[in-house]
Amino acid sequence: MAMKAQLAKLGLFDARVPRYTSYPTAPHFGGGVDSSLFARWISLVPRGAEISLYVHVPFCRRLCWFCACRTQGTQSDRPVAAYVDTLKSELDLLARNLPEGVRLSRLHWGGGTPTLLQPDMIEDLAQAIKQVVPFTDRTEFSVEIDPNEIDAPRLDALASAGMNRASVGVQDFNEDIQRSIGRLQGYEVTRWAVDEIRARGVASLNADILYGLPHQSKARITESVQKLLSLNPDRVALYGYAHVPWMAKRQQMLPSDALPTPEERLELFDTARRLFLWDNYAEIGIDHFATKDDGLNIALKTGRLRRNFQGYTDDTADVLIGLGASSISRFPQGYAQNDPGTGAHTAAIRDGRFSTSRGHVFSSEDRLRGRMIEQLMCEFRIDTPDLCRRLDISAQQVHRILQASAAQFGGLLQLDDQGLRVPHEARPLTRMIARSIDAYALSKAGHSSAI
């Protein structure tokens, strides 16, 4: 109770801070990055390098009320088929700018609901990608799968295309909670999808579950986590529901008076966390869990764990190129984001240019603070000697930033010449600590709860 009181005194239960899947965060992207600079960055990828691709499919059969992703509802396959054609044209543009010999490290299809693509669309898109950026024997191809929007023919097409990691969204298995968030998805439907995925030889399975939903209690999240554990996922993301109805209007349909308090959110997280640890999952960063032999756990142990827009990753590629409306690309030089509107994105591609509408060019200060935040989010520490070696900076420069950060947290953080460490009891503050290192003003739009 004393630690909970100290966390409250430091503002944990009142703070709204970024999730820090990038630095700077997306609200700070500006208009200084356009399609010509984006094409230039692509051309600078070294020959023979391995890069990663993210493909955004911004369509759903139904719009879940809790979701804040960029997507649109459709009951027809016509706009989806047209969008796949646009993605193929975008791949043609990529091929014209990409140096020879580039291969694929990671491929991820997200959304939206990428599994609403029909089998022929899946095959067509996968083949178009492979023609531009061929797979290697180490390529990881992951797809976000909605158990309500998948069947055997589509799973056959995905497996044939090379999918070797599947990500299944669960949210919560309690029917009352599902009704309150507009996402009905029974355990048996999810079990069927998982069994069918496994039956096709897909070796790795991710699952997402949320805490902080309306009507959630410790008993209910315990039951949902136990059901999820019965599916034996290799990797689990335990995300806090971000209630931002001023940004995602459909969240206004949720019963806000039934949302747990920040203090209750922490109890829900701790309840789920203990269940994963008791089942021998390794704790990865602030909100992921993985089996002992999963790539995330191996990356954590070997110092290769990284943070990206999907959360945590073991991908070591220096370049991530986003395809589709609103997708974000990451280069050593900075970030570039496609136009968020499907129509505007399509119009740009038809005009023979990338739809890049904003982004950010890294400064030396961005690289330093970004790496500090990534170390903190991945390892709960900031390694001063490592930063000095990587970025050719002085220990004094690093120490000044860390000293200012540590001073804000009442002696909870451990600071010495080797860097800064966050003790286990202070880990709920991690995003707030990252915020103290962030040199940019907090977005006027606000962010999600710190816990």
| CA distance readout (Å), 401 to 81, 297, 377, 424 | 50, 29, 16, 22
| CA distance readout (Å), 388 to 366, 382, 397, 418, 419 | 15, 11, 9, 11, 11
Q: Categorize the per-residue pLDDT at 175 as very low, low, confident or very high, splitting at 50, 70 and 90.
A: very high
**Amino acid 304: pLDDT:** 95
**Amino acid 70: pLDDT:** 77
| CA distance readout (Å), 212 to 22, 41, 267 | 23, 40, 10
Q: pLDDT tens, 229-247?
A: 999 999 999 999 988 888 7
* Side chain identity, residue 414: Q
Q: pLDDT tens, 120-149?
A: 999 999 999 999 999 999 999 999 999 999
Range in 59-73, 178-192, 345-359 with the lowest mean pLDDT? 59-73
Over pLDDT 90: what percentage of the chain? Answer: 86
3-state secondary structure string across 118-157: CHHHHHHHHHHHHHHCCEEEEEEEEEEECHHHCCHHHHHH
* Side chain identity, residue 244: V
Q: pLDDT tens, 376-422?
A: 999 999 999 999 999 999 999 999 999 999 999 989 999 999 999 99
Over pLDDT 70: what percentage of the chain? Answer: 99
Residue 329 bridge partners (DSSP): 336
Mean pLDDT over 431-439 rounds to 97
Report DSSP state, residue 26.
G
**Amino acid 119: pLDDT:** 98
Tokens of 302: 């070997």
Region of residue 369 (left: phi > 0; alpha: psi -120 to 50; beta: else): alpha
Q: State the pTM of this model.
A: 0.95
Confidence check: pLDDT of 2 > 80 = no
Q: Please, what's the b/e burial string for 240-279 (b: 16 or more CB within 10 A of its CB; e: otherwise)? A: bbbbeeeebeebeebeeeebbebebbbbbbebbbebbeee
Evaluate whether 214 touches 258 at the Cβ level (below 8 Å). Answer: yes
Q: Residues, the chain, total? A: 451
**Amino acid 385: pLDDT:** 97
CA–CA dist 204, 135 (Å, integer) = 18
Q: Positive or negative CA dihedral for 433, 439, 442, 443?
A: negative
Mean pLDDT over 81-96 rounds to 98
**Amino acid 172: pLDDT:** 96
Confidence check: pLDDT of 447 > 70 = no
CA–CA dist 225, 186 (Å, integer) = 14
**Amino acid 189: pLDDT:** 97
Q: pLDDT tens, 238-271?
A: 999 988 888 788 888 889 999 999 999 999 999 9
Q: pLDDT tens, 149-163?
A: 999 999 999 999 999
E strands present in 311-450 = 311-313, 320-323, 328-331, 334-338, 356-361, 381-383, 414-416, 419-421
Confidence check: pLDDT of 444 > 80 = no
Q: pLDDT tens, 178-227?
A: 999 999 999 999 999 999 999 999 989 999 999 999 999 999 999 999 99
**Amino acid 446: pLDDT:** 54
Q: pLDDT tens, 288-327?
A: 999 999 999 999 999 999 999 889 999 999 999 999 999 9
Largest Cα–Cα distance in the chain? 61
